[in-house]
Amino acid sequence: MKIAVLGGDGFCGWPASLHLSDLGHDVLVVDNLSRRRIDEELGASSLTPIVSPQERVAAWQEVSGRTITFVELDVAQDYDGLVDLLLAQRPDAVVHFAEQRAAPYSMKSPAHKRYTVDNNVNATHNLLAALVETGLDAHLVHLGTMGVYGYGTAGMKIPEGYLPVQVVTHEGEQVEQEILYPTNPGSVYHLTKCLDQQLFAYYAKNDRLRITDLHQGIVWGTHTDQTARDERLVNRFDYDGDYGTVLNRFLMQAAVGYPLTVHGTGGQTRAFIHIRDMVRCVQIALENPPARGDKVKIFNQMTQTHRVRDLAELVAGLSGATVEMVPNPRHEAAENDLHVRNDTFLDLGLEPTFLEEGLLLEVEEVARRYAHRADLEKIPCTSVWTAEQRPGVPSRHPQPVAGG
């Protein structure tokens, strides 16, 4: 297959591109390098030393003999460029990773909220409109998030995208329907993924586009079989307070001797997936496209759920790190249970990589190897969700007085 990977320079996109290329697919990486510029804005950088996209693809050619083409393009801003690229390359599939993906970054300020909405919603909509305009029947595989569901249910397992509901008509007849599971985002970033869902549903219905939306949990780990082959292929490893995700942060914090930063009581339960399973899932999704006219296929891309304080205890037990309960900068439930269905990927052959000592140590080992590059001042999460959480700083946007 010819596969365009939008956002192919990122934490998930790069290892997915290498995996697909290794399988013999013709891979085109498209990225505007915004993630690298955000590093500069934040004064942070990947713990692992990542080389330029041009050096990455040259190293892959040297190591594997396979060619990945890199194209710098802003999917959200350069619609005409996207149309021209699709017409010139005519991919069989497009994997869409090209969004601003950090919840804390999306909550930093009104400007960051607006950037995240503009970038993510425009990127997705441009791609959909461009597929229709070009008439290409490419299968679109999007990386969505488990966070579209919120992190709790009425007691059942979170289904894969759709919820069967019974409604009573005005004649008193009970009718069964299937609806998109109601969204309950926990940040402006997560909100953009909820908006994406609506865009997909509409374009699948109206234009019969073939779309798969992968509702992914928190990805942990760094290496895949391909990224480990040469230091120039190394994946990025985010540990800063905006982009670092919880388990990788804990492993990095343990490696550099920093107390593990548990938000609040650490009672938040989240879904997780190892990076090697993530690339396999993308492959499986590409191999099992919906038919034209089908509704959007939605898969829950996660393998396990964990409570944050349990993860901290596990990492502390393995490494001797200390745990620190810090005030939660987010507006989220202090404690939640999370039960998720993920039957589709299991039925299609995914063999989950579970959290186990060896893998945790492998990631900690990566972090230890590059510990000298760590800037400990970048570890605290300083982005807060509400004005009330910003101590001493009065809100610039006073709330309207109820009824006033």
Give me the least distance between CB of 101 and ligand NAD, in Å please: 3
Selected from 19, 56, 101, 276, the binder of ligand USQ by CB under 6 A is 101
Where does residue 135 rank: exposed (0-12), middle (13-18), buried (19+ CB within 10 A)? exposed
Among 108, 113, 193, 378, the one annotated catalytic: 193
Which residue from 340, 292, 310 is spatially nearest to 145, judged by alpha carbons?
A: 340
Q: Does 76 bind ligand NAD (CB under 6 A)?
A: yes
Q: Which of residues 4-43 bind ligand USQ (CB under 6 A)?
A: none
> What is the layout of strands, in order, in the sheet containing 218-220?
218-220, 269-274, 304-307
Residue 342 contacts residue 400 (beta carbons within 8 Å): no
Residue 266 contacts residue 309 (beta carbons within 8 Å): yes
Which residue number has the CB closest to ligand USQ?
147
Give me the least distance between CB of 120 and ligand USQ, in Å please: 11
Selected from 145, 224, 303, 353, the binder of ligand NAD by CB under 6 A is 145
SS3 340: strand
129 binds, among ligand NAD, ligand USQ, none (CB under 5 to 8 A by kind): none
Residue 274 contacts residue 353 (beta carbons within 8 Å): yes
Which residue from 2, 207, 211 is spatially nearest to 90, judged by alpha carbons?
A: 2
Q: Does 39 bind ligand NAD (CB under 6 A)?
A: no
Where does residue 202 rank: exposed (0-12), middle (13-18), buried (19+ CB within 10 A)? middle
Q: Output phi, psi for 383, to 5 deg.
A: -80, 120
207 binds, among ligand USQ, ligand NAD, none (CB under 5 to 8 A by kind): none
Selected from 112, 249, 276, 306, the binder of ligand USQ by CB under 6 A is 249
Q: Does 332 bind ligand USQ (CB under 6 A)?
A: yes
Give me the least distance between CB of 384 and ligand USQ, in Å please: 11
Q: Which of residues 110-129 bind ligand USQ (CB under 6 A)?
A: none
Instruction: Please say which residue, 171 or 352, places its beta carbon nearer to ligand NAD.
Output: 352
> How far is it, in rounded angstroms, from Cα 283 to Cα 270?
24
Instruction: Please say which residue, 89 or 171, places its beta carbon nearer to ligand NAD.
Output: 89
> What is the layout of strands, in order, in the sheet containing 26-31?
68-72, 26-31, 2-6, 93-96, 139-145, 211-216, 297-301
The interface region with ligand NAD, picked from 28-36, 131-139, 370-378, 388-396 by CB under 6 A, is 28-36
Q: Which of residues 337-376 bind ligand USQ (CB under 6 A)?
A: none
Q: Which residues does 110 contact at the CB level (< 8 Å), separation at least 6? A: none
Instruction: Please say which residue, 145 or 222, places its beta carbon nearer to ligand USQ.
Output: 145
Residue burial 255-284, b: 16+ Cβ < 10 Å; e: rest: bbebbbbbbbebbbbbbbbbbbbbbbbbbb
Number of amino acids touching ligand USQ (CB under 6 A) = 23
Q: Does 35 bind ligand NAD (CB under 6 A)?
A: yes
In the residue annotation, 297 being an active-site residue is answered as no
246 binds, among ligand NAD, ligand USQ, none (CB under 5 to 8 A by kind): ligand USQ
Selected from 6, 18, 102, 275, the binder of ligand USQ by CB under 6 A is 102
Residue with tokens 């982005």: 383
74 binds, among ligand NAD, ligand USQ, none (CB under 5 to 8 A by kind): ligand NAD
CB atoms inside a 10 Å sphere around CB 251: 30
Which residue number has the CB closest to ligand NAD?
10
Q: Does 290 bind ligand USQ (CB under 6 A)?
A: no
Identity of residue 381: C
Q: Which residues does 179 contact at the CB level (< 8 Å), separation at least 6? A: 162, 163, 165
In the residue annotation, 370 being an active-site residue is answered as no
Selected from 1, 23, 33, 163, the binder of ligand NAD by CB under 6 A is 33
Give the binding site for ligand USQ (CB under 6 A). 101-103, 145-147, 217-218, 245-246, 249, 261-263, 266, 268, 270-271, 308, 328, 330, 332, 381
Give the binding site for ligand NAD (CB under 6 A). 6-7, 9-13, 31-35, 74-76, 97-101, 119, 123, 143, 145, 216, 218-219, 245
Catalytic sites, residue numbers: 145, 189, 193
